[in-house]
Amino acid sequence: MTRPEPAFDAPWHAQVFAVTVHLNETGHFTWSDWAARFGEVLRRHGLDRSLDGGDDYFLAWLETLEGLLAERDLATEAERRELRDAWAEAFRSTPHGAPVRLPEEGPGTGQRRA
């Protein structure tokens, strides 16, 4: 039996997609709003060619998500930077081939203020 192709090229692609879906499902934005914003980011990046869901596509996706987080006050710039730095450190310190995970406690794992 052959294994199906993965839906995402990299785990972080799936994670940023899942966060976006969750925020939509919890009412933080509509898909039509998302699509308009994402389209603008893709155009600004010059990504008008056929995209295959690789890093260029998901970097634009992440930029769109970060813009919405800031605009809707869902995460401050400091919180976004702390989390971005924590992921970068986790990536650098993870052995090749192992899943990249944030530590259970530490930077980027704090609770959002009420």
What ranges do the domains of the chain cover?
Answer: 11-93
Amino acid 105: pLDDT: 60
Amino acid 106: pLDDT: 54
Q: Which amino acid is at 11?
A: P
| Closest alpha carbon to 82 in 58, 98, 66 | 66
Tens of pLDDT along 36-68?
A: 999 999 888 876 556 666 788 888 999 999 999
> In 10 A of CB 7, how many CB atoms?
9
Amino acid 48: pLDDT: 58
